[in-house]
């Protein structure tokens, strides 16, 4: 099973520390998944700077001001071996593991593979946050008052599998058009 791969192209969080957080979740997360960060960890000297990722919900604060997982894809094999698998599509953030998240802002550009989004692409040109779903969902229009990205270009992403140029996969250049 392949997971989401996200590349940050022009993202404000690359220059603003306040738009970056360390996160943990009770659910395994893939890059490109979105979530709320309402509480911090409670274990002193270990989790006091780690935020708890929870599924987006229509209840307060709603499907706005969400954060996105964008952790470097270091695939762990057999629970202890790092980088034996070079394919970033096999990466996920395991339950209880700390990862990196950023807060998308209007104008941010990301590149994501098809597995980073849920639903059917077809002629849809937006991905929107939905209730109780960590993945952004394809839609024909921007959903009001939710985190939303607009498709700017169908492109590709190179996935290195041991030899140069071994695999190019379809990817989508998305621009954040609404966060609030």
pLDDT at 4: 85
Mean pLDDT of the chain: 85
Q: Compute how many other C-beta atoms are within 10 angstroms of the C-beta atom of residue 104.
A: 29
Rg (CA), the chain: 16
77 vs 17: CA distance, rounded Å:
31
| pLDDT tens readout for residues 74-111 | 555 555 555 555 666 666 787 888 889 999 999 999 99
Residue partners of 123: CB distance under 8 A and separation at least 6: 140
DSSP code per residue over 126-141: EEEEETTEEEEEEESS
pLDDT at 60: 72
The average pLDDT across 174-180 equals: 93
Q: Answer yes or no: are the C-beta atoms of 90 and 75 closer than 8 Å.
A: yes
Q: Answer yes or no: are the C-beta atoms of 131 and 58 closer than 8 Å.
A: yes
82 vs 75: CA distance, rounded Å:
6
| pLDDT tens readout for residues 22-75 | 999 989 998 899 999 988 876 666 666 899 999 999 887 788 899 999 987 555
Q: Which of 1, 32, 35 is nearest to 157 (CA)?
A: 32
Long-range contacts of 165-172 (CB under 8 A, 24+ apart): 169/113, 169/114, 170/113, 170/114, 171/5, 171/7, 171/111, 171/112, 171/113, 171/114, 172/111, 172/112, 172/113, 172/114, 172/117, 172/121
Q: Compute how many other C-beta atoms are within 10 angstroms of the C-beta atom of residue 127.
A: 28
Q: Where are the alpha helices (DSSP H) in the chain?
A: none
Confidence label for 121 from pLDDT (cuts 50, 70 and 90): very high
């Amino acid at each position: 099973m392949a997971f989401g791969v996200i590349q940050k192209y022009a993202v404000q969080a690359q220059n603003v520390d306040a738009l970056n957080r360390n996160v943990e979740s009770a659910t395994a997360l893939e890059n490109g998944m979105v979530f709320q960060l309402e509480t911090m960890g409670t274990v002193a000297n270990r989790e006091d700077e780690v935020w708890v990722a929870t599924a987006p919900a229509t209840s307060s604060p709603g499907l706005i001001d969400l954060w996105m997982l964008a952790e470097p894809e270091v695939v762990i094999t057999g629970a202890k071996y790092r980088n034996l698998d070079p394919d970033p599509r096999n990466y996920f953030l395991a339950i209880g593991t700390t990862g990196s998240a950023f807060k998308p802002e209007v104008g941010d550009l990301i590149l994501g593979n098809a597995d980073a989004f849920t639903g059917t692409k077809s002629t849809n040109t937006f991905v929107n946050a939905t209730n109780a779903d960590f993945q952004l969902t394809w839609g024909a229009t921007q959903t009001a008052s939710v985190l939303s990205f607009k498709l700017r270009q169908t492109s590709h992403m190179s996935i290195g599998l041991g030899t140069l140029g071994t695999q190019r996969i379809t990817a989508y250049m998305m621009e954040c058009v609404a966060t609030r």
